[in-house]
Amino acid sequence: MLKIQIQRDMILLENQIPLFILARLLGLQLGNPDQEGRVGRLVLKFFNPIGSERVEFDASPGQCGLHCLEVLWQSFLPSGLTRARTTEWQLYQHELIPCLTELMEAGIKFRCVFTKKLGDIRFNIKYGTLEIPYINIHQGTRSVFLNLIAFEQSHFDCREYITSYVMFMHNLINSSEDVRYLCKHGIIEHCLGSDAEVADLFNLLCQEMALDSKDSNLHNVSIMVNDYRKWKHFSLRTSWRASMAQKWNAWRAILENKYFDNPWSIISFMAAVILLMLTFLQALYAVYGYYKPRS
């Protein structure tokens, strides 16, 4: 319990101590001044708040980060992407995706990927599979996400990776059933009271949260998912219409070849239809006369 309280205090944005100061203190204790990389690795080992995989840390000079919170933030960045925004920046509306249940109805599948980067969400358009990294949710997860989002919002030059991830999961999870499905497939593991609490967690995180930048890999993933969903629905409608047209053509061919192969068959069919209509009208008048006899 004490460790959790210390973690919550250390992760607060307002409590951050410059990393080089911690490195100097550790260097004085060990007699070696170059300890910035080691401090970063110790930070990740102490927190390890989201995933179970061991996270690699870039200990290159000048790449360790400003403080413990940035070290943690860097460990979640998607592979191959940088810290800074692109040079040209504009405001865009964030691409939203439907919830998990609606995506499943469109034939989209979900698969867990055990990666060291939380933001490595990929959509395999060939198989219609959304690949989402494993995440372990516990009592301290909300505090971690809130402070990581606050860090991104307070640094204009930072790309909003964590904000994008939280918004993506918020759109994906709409109910406890969505959480239960993700847990069943190993994407989410949690120790909260119920699946509904996990859904509430992402809903609360996204309250009054702004995400206007298109400068995110998840923006492209959302576009791919929505395009695939629209294409799938169009394909299903087209195939249904084609199937019904094919059946109608087959039925019409059977009628023409088997029952209407000569003019007398057509005349007999029309006579039968007329006789059936007259019989129906006669029965209708008989019922009408029974309930409303002439005075």
pLDDT of residue 180: 92
In a domain, 120, yes or no: yes
Q: Is the pLDDT of residue 16 over 50?
A: yes
Q: Which of 183, 210, 232 is the last residue of a domain?
A: 232
- pLDDT, average across residues 226-246: 72
Give the domain extent around 137: 100-232
**pLDDT by residue (tens digit) across 253-281?**
666 656 666 777 777 778 888 999 989 88
Taking residues 24-51, report their average pLDDT.
74
In a domain, 82, yes or no: no
* One domain, residues 50 and 172: no
pLDDT band at 65 (very low <50, low <70, confident <90, very high): low
Average the pLDDT over 36-54 and give the result.
Answer: 69
pTM score of the predicted model: 0.70
Residues 216, 137 share a domain: yes
pLDDT exceeds 90 at position 182: yes
Domain count, the chain: 3
In this structure, are 125 and 206 located in the same domain?
yes
Structure tokens at 175: 């109910």
Average pLDDT over residues 134-159: 85
Report which of residues 217 and 111 the model is more confident about.
111
